[in-house]
Every structure is written in structure tokens, then in C-alpha cells.
Amino acid sequence: MADKLRIGIVGCGGIANGKHMPSLSRLDTVELVAFCDIVEDKAEKARAEYGVEGASVYTDYEKLLADTSIDVVHVCTPNDSHAAVAIASLEAGKHVMSEKPMAKRATDARRMAETAAKTGKKLTVGYQSRHRPDSQYLKQAVVRGDLGEIYYAKAHAIRRRAVPTWGVFLDEEKQGGGPLIDIGTHALDLTLWLMDNYEPKLVVGTTYHKLSQRENAANAWGPWDPKKFTVEDSAFGFITMKNGATITLEASWALNTLQVDEAKTTLCGTEGGADMFGGLRFNGENFSRLYDSKIDLNAGGAAFYEGKTESDSDREARLWIEAIINDTDPVVLPRQALVVSEILEAIYTSAETGKAVSFE
């Protein structure tokens, strides 16, 4: 391996500019050497802002993959092309970070995981919510046994009116779904990871197209075009796990509610509970009395907090690159991301058929 890992970016749109490229550019262990986008101007702009001297620009990702000097590829394209680009990259000998969700379809996500295992290259998925301080603290508490057996959880991804009206977010063909696959995926990943439970048994789901068909609707990012709003505006899932645990998942871009939060979880265990509403809160009983407490994550003293200003995205990028350099497992494993995709797809299938989806 060269002194620095050489990285190629496929897809130079919002998520690449908002997360991947800025975080990677702050690492002294990598250099961004190739940029690909079907809109050449976007790739040129990315090269000018983040590329090393001599960095290449492509409009065809297969030409980028032909560069044998590239070690790592970050896939930042719409959902429908995650699998094709990731699989081709793995087969070309590159390690791959794919944006979430793993793929548009669970069968494609499975092919990604299988290709990573076959090629021996590392594959991870961009679930950055695991890297938040509250997530890290709660994970430590769960591992220590503070909550006991977690038998009920809620995965929260609710916006009152914040429908993304740009790009292909409203295009079912490109994305595979709406808020469920966009923000619900973060909440579900976080919940499964904290519970350390990846064995679903039965899934029931519902999806709605209620507010999406309204003209000139109030929205944080301006009104949407109902004719182009081909994905659900809300989705809800009821998931039972093989060990008897239950998870409810709520995901919406537009819902008439004042209780809003996303990429958050509520965990209920035999020894205590925790949630992320208004900060990280714990509850339980001590000496036959009920208690609740809120954790001050800015006070220091925790293993992961030493006064550093590293953002969640920067931490995600650093740990991913360190996993490659040190030949260790990435934080997000392919098999974990695959189960997330399988459950999301089961919710869509259940909503469409009106029947429960069994994993038995």
C-alpha cells in the first residue's frame, strides 16, 4: 500500500459534498485522486475543491475503476445504482464505502455482501448516526448491561414538514422509496445496533400517500410537485425478532405532529430504559424508587470524549480508513446493513400486499 490511500468518489452531489469529501479531505492518511459524476461539471468542481494535483475526472465510473492505483471507492449515487457501482468496485479490487441504504433492493444488498466476502475487500455503509456522542454513550451502557434484556424498542424518524424536494428523493424508481428508506433506515440501523439483535422473525408495515398529493403544501424546503411525488410520505413498521423482542419503526417526511425527531431510538429493558428525546435520558428504579436522569455529553469524562471537536462524519471517515489501514472490521458490517435493507423491504412488501412478511 502507498503512503496514503488513494480514493475515488463516484457521485459528486449533495451527500458527497456535504459529508464524504469534506471529512476525507481532513485526513492525512488519504488523498482524493478521482471524481466521477454523470454531470461532468459536478466532478470538475469536486476535483477543484478536494482533489490532489493531477486528480482525474470521469463521467463513467467503469473508467475510474480501471485505475489500478485507486484503493478505495466511495459510492454517493442514487439508491438504484449503489449495488452496481459497489459490486464493480469490489471486483476491481477496491474497498468500498456505500452511502445508505445499502441498496434499493435487498437482493442487491445481499449480492454486495457476497461480493465483499468473495473478493476479500472491505465494504461498509454510511450509517453515521452510530458515531454520535449520544449513540456511543448509550452503546457503552447497553454493553455493560445497564438496561438488561432489551425487549421493546422504537426507531424514530419523524419530520413534521420537511420533504426534500431536490434531486431524486421523490422518485420511486431511483430511490426505491421515500422517508422509510431515506431516514427510517438510520433509525432502524441505530436501534438494531444498540440492541445487537439482527434476527427478525415477522414484519408488518403500512405506507401512506396522504399529504404528498396536496398542492402548495407548507414545507421547510418549499412546496413539492404532487405529480412527481411518487414515494410514500409516511411509513410505519411493526417488527418482531426471533428472541421475542419487538421494534416499532416510524418514518415520515410530512406528518401532522409536534413530536418530531429523526435517527433516534427508545430502548426498554428489564433493568432500565433509555431514549434520545431532548438529549440522552435513562430511567429505571433504585431502592424501590423510580428514577430518571439526563446525561450531559458536554461534560467530558467519557472514554470517547476528550475535548475533541471531531464531528460525527469526520469520526465515521477516520474509523473507516483506519479499518482499512489496520485490516480490522469496519464499524458498520455488510451483514448488519443487509438486515436493515431486508426489514425495510419487508415493510414495503407488507404495505403493498396487506400481509405480514415472515423471515422464518
| pLDDT tens-digit readout, 289-311 | 999 999 988 755 445 545 557 89
First to last CA, the chain: 44
Strands 123-125 and 95-98: parallel
| pLDDT tens-digit readout, 145-202 | 999 999 999 999 999 999 999 999 999 999 999 999 999 999 999 999 999 999 999 9
**In contact, 101 and 344? CB cutoff 8 Å:** yes
**In contact, 77 and 103? CB cutoff 8 Å:** no
Task: Look up residue 120 and give its amino acid.
Answer: G
Mean per-residue pLDDT for 331-343? Answer: 98
Mean per-residue pLDDT for 217-237? Answer: 96
Cis amide bond preceding 200, omega within 30: no
Which is it for the CA torsion 120, 122, 123, 127, positive or negative? positive
Task: Look up residue 325 and give its amino acid.
Answer: I
Q: What is the pLDDT of residue 308?
A: 57
Q: What is the pLDDT of residue 338?
A: 98
DSSP 15-53: HIIIIIHHHHHT-TTEEEEEEE-SSHHHHHHHHHHHPPT
Q: What is the pLDDT of residue 299?
A: 59
Q: What region does 177 belong to: left with phi over 0, alpha with psi -120 to 50, or beta?
A: left
Mean per-residue pLDDT for 235-261? Answer: 97
Which is it for the CA torsion 78, 165, 183, 26, positive or negative? positive
Structure pTM?
A: 0.94
Q: What is the pLDDT of residue 213?
A: 93
Q: What is the pLDDT of residue 298?
A: 75
Domains in the chain, ordered, with CATH? 5-125 (3.40.50.720), 130-313+340-358 (3.30.360.10)
The C-alpha atoms of residue 333 and residue 329 are separated, in whole angstroms, by: 7
Percent of residues, the chain, with pLDDT higher than 90: 94
Show the cell assigned to 23.
471529512
Q: What is the pLDDT of residue 341?
A: 98
The C-alpha atoms of residue 343 and residue 359 are separated, in whole angstroms, by: 9
The C-alpha atoms of residue 30 and residue 44 are separated, in whole angstroms, by: 19
Percent of residues, the chain, with pLDDT higher than 70: 97
**In contact, 116 and 122? CB cutoff 8 Å:** yes
Mean per-residue pLDDT for 226-248? Answer: 97
Query: Closest by alpha carbon to 80, among 105, 110, 50?
Result: 105
Q: What is the pLDDT of residue 304?
A: 52
Q: What is the pLDDT of residue 310?
A: 86
Asked if pLDDT for residue 248 goes beyond 90, the answer is: yes
Query: Closest by alpha carbon to 332, among 137, 96, 92?
Result: 96
| pLDDT tens-digit readout, 52-107 | 999 999 999 999 999 999 999 999 999 999 999 999 999 999 999 999 999 999 99
Q: How many CA atoms lie within 13 A of 198 on its CB side?
A: 15
Asked if pLDDT for residue 129 goes beyond 80, the answer is: yes
The C-alpha atoms of residue 52 and residue 42 are separated, in whole angstroms, by: 16
Q: What is the pLDDT of residue 309?
A: 73
